[in-house]
Amino acid sequence: MERWQNRVAVITGASSGIGAACTRLLVAAGLQVVGLARRTERLEQLRQSLPVEQQTRFHQRTCDVSAEGQVNSAFEWIEQQLGGIDVLINNAGIVRDGQLLDMPVPEISQILQTNLMGSIYCTKLAASSMKRREMAGHLFFINSTAGLAGYNPGPVDPSLNAYTPSKFALTAVHEICRQELITAKSKIKTTSINPGWVATEIVSDEIKAQLGDVILQADDVAQAVLYALSSSPNAQVQEITLRAVGEWY
């Protein structure tokens, strides 16, 4: 991880769950981390929870990634204040109750704007920063097993409605980015992390109770990010699929 010392990592959805876990690991590893999230107070709580000597390496910006203007403003601040983006972790995501065939279209749009378009907005700006500075950076997509071919939760489990197609689309976005970077002869890496159920705020208490201990923790996913980030410059960890021991799909 020596080459990442004081490099700038941007993490979306940093206020809780996987984003907060990634923040703690990367700050401890010596990176400058910019946490983006809608909940300003939760970002401040995260900063206060860090060891005192690490708090100066955490920078927070209030940002709803579904709003392109807010993303542009946040990334402009990062460029001006920190010099650019070296690592991007697209983590922000939402899920809503209901079935795709019945739920209101605005709720479907909200899921797609956050989970898909938010990642695209951030990825375009981060990649542009890396290419302009000839930085061999790293783009991460926190995806889901719900976005992999063969996903089949069964008829008794609740529908994930638009969440599943948003993650299938993110799988495609990651692969297109990988191919375009190769075509451009860029050394920027891309990695898709595909976890199964994770014990975060977007998973209901009912589902957590049903799964028991057959569920990942946010730190499990953050460790996968750290593993891919710490790979040698010549090795690209293209994809990691994580499931809890005993998880069916």
pLDDT digits (tens, 9 = 90+) for 98-149: 999 999 999 999 999 999 999 999 999 999 999 999 999 999 999 999 999 7
Tokens of 60: 């927070």
Task: State the Cα–Cα distance between residues 113 and 111, nearest whole angstrom.
Answer: 6
State yes or no: pLDDT of 37 exceeds 80.
yes
Helix (H) or strand (E) holding 118: helix 118-132
| Residue 248: inside a domain | no
Say if CB 19 and CB 35 are below 8 A apart: yes
The predicted model gives 16-37 an average pLDDT of 98
| Residue 247: inside a domain | no
What pLDDT score does 239 carry? Answer: 97
Range(s) of the domain holding residue 136: 2-242
| Residue 249: inside a domain | no
Task: State the Cα–Cα distance between residues 69 and 127, nearest whole angstrom.
Answer: 18
| Residue 45: inside a domain | yes
Using pLDDT thresholds of 50, 70 and 90, give the confidence band for residue 155.
confident
State yes or no: pLDDT of 9 exceeds 90.
yes
Q: What order of strands is seen across the sheet that includes strand 138-142?
A: 58-62, 32-37, 8-12, 87-90, 138-142, 189-195, 239-242
Task: State the Cα–Cα distance between residues 20 and 17, nearest whole angstrom.
Answer: 5
Active site residue ranges: 163
Letter for the amino acid at 146?
A: A
The predicted model gives 201-212 an average pLDDT of 91
Nearest one of 167, 120, 160 to 144, comparing CA atoms = 167
Nearest one of 149, 150, 239 to 195, comparing CA atoms = 239
Q: Does residue 243 sit in helix, strand or coil?
A: coil
What is the per-residue pLDDT across 70-79, written as a single tens digit (0 to 9) for each?
999 999 999 9
| Residue 232: inside a domain | yes
Distance between terminal CA atoms of the chain?
33
CB-based burial label for 30 (10 Å; 0-12, 13-18, 19+): middle
Whole-structure pTM value: 0.96
What pLDDT score does 47 carry? Answer: 97
Residue with tokens 């495609």: 172
Which CATH number fits the domain that encloses residue 127? 3.40.50.720
Lowest mean pLDDT among 69-83, 141-155, 183-197, 201-215: 141-155
Q: pLDDT over 70 for what percent of the chain?
A: 100
What is the per-residue pLDDT across 226-236, written as a single tens digit (0 to 9) for each?
999 999 999 99
Tokens of 194: 């595909």
| Residue 163: inside a domain | yes
What pLDDT score does 77 carry? Answer: 98
Task: State the Cα–Cα distance between residues 47 and 43, nearest whole angstrom.
Answer: 6
The predicted model gives 31-56 an average pLDDT of 97
Say if CB 24 and CB 102 are below 8 A apart: no
What pLDDT score does 248 carry? Answer: 83
| Residue 204: inside a domain | yes
Total domains present in the chain? 1
Letter for the amino acid at 14?
A: A
State yes or no: pLDDT of 49 exceeds 90.
yes
